[in-house]
């Protein structure tokens, strides 16, 4: 984690990195005070989908925590759940999610148009796709799941 030395003091606490070995996975946890990051890489396709508090089919993922809460997650696959987040896609893709107090921000890269479903505590007031109000979404109040349709290529989704 690069940082500039402040003019009025010294560098912050140095990060502490711990290796994580799980059957079929390898990874690391890097802690910086009350924040930490996990980075996990699948070594074996037959490895369990449950690792480091997440259930995923991803080939790799990272998760960043601040003050014990999930701040953002990135994965390459079609599903990831755990630590207060649940995301499923209709096909494997690259996805980054930053949950917010109300809503979430998502960055997606999909080889084909895709449907993404994720947990949302309430129906959003609006969903923006690449900065424009979208009607290509639905909210299921019974399951508290939001489904958003995204195009092929890169897309940014803002849920509020």
| pLDDT at 14 (0 to 100) | 80
Q: Which residue has the higher pLDDT, 101 or 114?
A: 114
Distance CA 83, CA 55 (A): 10
pTM of the model: 0.89
Q: Is the separation of the CB atoms in 78 and 88 below 8 Å?
A: yes
pLDDT tens for 111-151 read: 999 999 999 989 999 999 999 999 999 999 999 999 999 99
| pLDDT at 1 (0 to 100) | 59
Distance CA 38, CA 30 (A): 7
């Amino acid at each position: 984690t690069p940082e500039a030395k402040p003019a009025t003091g010294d560098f912050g606490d140095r990060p502490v990195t711990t290796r994580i070995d799980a059957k079929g996975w390898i990874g690391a946890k890097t802690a910086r005070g009350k924040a930490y990051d996990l980075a996990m890489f699948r070594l074996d396709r037959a490895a369990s989908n449950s690792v480091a508090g997440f259930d995923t089919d991803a080939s790799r993922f990272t998760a960043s925590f601040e003050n014990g809460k999930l701040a953002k997650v990135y994965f390459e696959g079609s599903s990831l759940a755990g630590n207060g987040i649940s995301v499923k896609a209709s096909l494997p893709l690259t996805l980054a999610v930053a949950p917010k107090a109300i809503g979430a921000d998502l960055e997606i890269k999909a080889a084909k148009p895709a449907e993404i479903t994720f947990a949302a505590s309430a129906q959003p007031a609006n969903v923006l796709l690449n900065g424009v109000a979208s009607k290509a979404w639905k909210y299921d109040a019974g399951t508290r799941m939001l489904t958003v349709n995204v195009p092929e290529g890169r897309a940014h989704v803002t849920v509020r």
